[in-house]
Structure 1
Amino acid sequence: MTRLPPASTDQYTALPDARLVTTPALLTARKNLTDTINARAMMCLHGDAGFGKTVAATSCLHELEASEDIRRITFHTRAVRHELHAALQLPGQPPRYATEFDHLLKATLATHPRTLVLDEAQWLSSDQLEYIRYLWDDPYTQLAVIFIGGEGCHTTLRQEPMLSSRIFTWQHSSRLTLDEVQEVIPLYHPLWADADPEDIAFADNRAAHGNFRNWARLTAHTHTALHRTGRTRVDQDVLRWTFSRLGAGA
């Protein structure tokens, strides 16, 4: 995948009526991404799995696609030049020699502004990170770079002083607080809209733990439970059945 995934896939599960909700972290990501791209700078968005990093980034970047050439890259090999050649969809066969390859990539990246989104950045090698910095440092390339990764991403980038010293913004994604859960989950899906706040707190404490990916799974199973039982409203009996599907304690 070289472009951003379609907006319809922003949600973790294909759940009817699920909405993308504006959490504080998403609003912060929107501001940080916009500022980073406008500055042609580099940003690191990192945090544990399921806290909404990729959803926040892709949903915000979709809003900028009309005016910005955005390429998402997940490196599958250590051949960073070849991965970039594919991501940029350059014609013809890749050059055989490194100097020729470098000239092609830098010339391409100098033609107009681009944003490179490097997903799963915690797995990038020192050589890959150094090459991205090398391209970004060139005075003629017009690059913004967004690193997105799990908890190890911050450590991986910090171990590269020449790169980390150039990071414009660091944003850490963390779990939703209970107050944030009570605010955003009723907006996320209609089945939570009229749920008792105590039941939402019960679900968060026993299964979701402020993790949006957990909430997506929980909502999908709760939706199934309501359909199968004929009930119209979430309660703790329904939630306990849902917990049994998730392996969560009741």
Structure 2
Amino acid sequence: MTTAGRQGRLPAEREDHYMRLRGAHVVGTRALLAVRENIRAAIDAKAMICIYGPTGHGKSMAVNASLRDLAPQITHRIQFRARPSTRDLRHELFHALGLPGRPPSHAIEFDRTLRGALEEPRVLVCDEAQWLSKLCFEYLRYLWDDTSTDLTIIFTGGNGCFEMLQSEPMLESRVYAWQEIDPMALDEVLTVIPAFHPVWTQADPDLIAMCDREAAHGNFRAWAKITHHLTAGLKQTARTTVDEDLLRWAYSKLGRRAA
């Protein structure tokens, strides 16, 4: 399989957690359950939705885990790290959809090819959507508006994603649902983190609360980082349980995080 073909597919489950954290589980946070329900509704309605929020709160994990259950065979992903042109977008779609042969050389022919491929049910995940330009949004709207296509679009992104989509009235008016992923509240942290990784199963809830208050602040990626350092520390010190000294050592690696 080509690199482009792999990029168009859902990532493997081992990619869900930061740095492929061993022993970590996908846990049913409130955000994940809401993402799953919004995606289910979007697929049923063949709609556009937007899932957004600051980095590290579990957007991609929630979307990927939900789509593995709901639509694994028809999901395709695209992602850009810089402003793409519509030509870039066409080529990325061509490869993400796994279309055969070489990309057409003329825009009209290219559009006809993509519309034809989208006549069968497809779910398109546009990750880091804040990088898309106005022309790219217009092109995606053009494909979605076509009466012959059967397309669900899930826009996901971090800082600036909501503002970018809201600034495009023709697109914003078509978005079926908006979901912001917030940090986990402390009561959820105390329920979720012990189920997230075995290292926390027997941990004192007061230590978990201290860690969240002083370092993690409900950010799932921060919790994954701390867990990485903590498992390494347990191994190095031959300890079997988490104590305050070891925990403070683990999250000191993160530097200071604002709540």
TM-score (norm 1): 0.95
Match of 1:166 in 2: 174
Match of 2:96 in 1: 87
Do structure 1's residue 186 and structure 2's residue 194 form an aligned pair?
yes
Deviation at 1:194, TM superposition (A): 1.2
Is 100-109 or 172-181 further displaced after alignment?
Answer: 100-109
Deviation at 1:61, TM superposition (A): 0.3
- What pairs with 1:68-79 in structure 2 (closer than 5 Å)? 68-75=73-80, 77-78=84-85, 79=88
- Determine helix, strand or coil for the equivalent of 1:71: strand
Tell me if structure 2 keeps the 8 A contact 1:75–1:83: no
Cα displacement string for residues 81-138 of structure 1 (whole angstroms, at most 9, x for unaligned residues): 122111112222222221121111112211x100000000011111111100000000
Match of 2:151 in 1: 143
Residues matched between the structures, number: 247
- Determine helix, strand or coil for the equivalent of 1:246: coil
Cα displacement string for residues 144-200 of structure 1 (whole angstroms, at most 9, x for unaligned residues): 000010031000001111111000110000101011100100111111111111100
- Determine helix, strand or coil for the equivalent of 1:129: helix
- Determine helix, strand or coil for the equivalent of 1:127: helix
- Determine helix, strand or coil for the equivalent of 2:140: helix
Which of 88, 107, 113 is the equivalent residue of 1:104?
Answer: 113
The letter of the residue matching 1:212 is F
Listed as ranges, the gaps of 5+ residues in structure 2 are: 1-6
Which of 24, 31, 38 is the equivalent residue of 2:37?
Answer: 31
Which of 194, 198, 206 is the equivalent residue of 2:206?
Answer: 198
Deviation at 1:16, TM superposition (A): 2.4
Listed as ranges, the gaps of 5+ residues in structure 1 are: none
Tell me if structure 1 keeps the 8 A contact 2:75–2:123: yes
Q: What's the RMSD between the two structures over aligned residues?
A: 1.3
The letter of the residue matching 1:157 is L
Counterparts of 2:146 and 2:28 in 1: how far apart (Å)? 36
Counterparts of 2:105 and 2:193 in 1: how far apart (Å)? 53
Counterparts of 2:254 and 2:201 in 1: how far apart (Å)? 22
Match of 1:19 in 2: 25
Cα displacement string for residues 188-224 of structure 1 (whole angstroms, at most 9, x for unaligned residues): 1111111111100111111111100000000110111
Which of 3, 9, 12 is the equivalent residue of 1:3?
Answer: 9
Counterparts of 1:217 and 1:129 in 2: how far apart (Å)? 34
Counterparts of 1:75 and 1:86 in 2: how far apart (Å)? 14
TM-score (norm 2): 0.92
The letter of the residue matching 1:191 is V
Counterparts of 1:232 and 1:90 in 2: how far apart (Å)? 51
Which of 207, 223, 226 is the equivalent residue of 1:215?
Answer: 223
Which of 223, 228, 241 is the equivalent residue of 2:236?
Answer: 228
Tell me if structure 1 keeps the 8 A contact 2:47–2:152: yes
Counterparts of 2:80 and 2:147 in 1: how far apart (Å)? 25
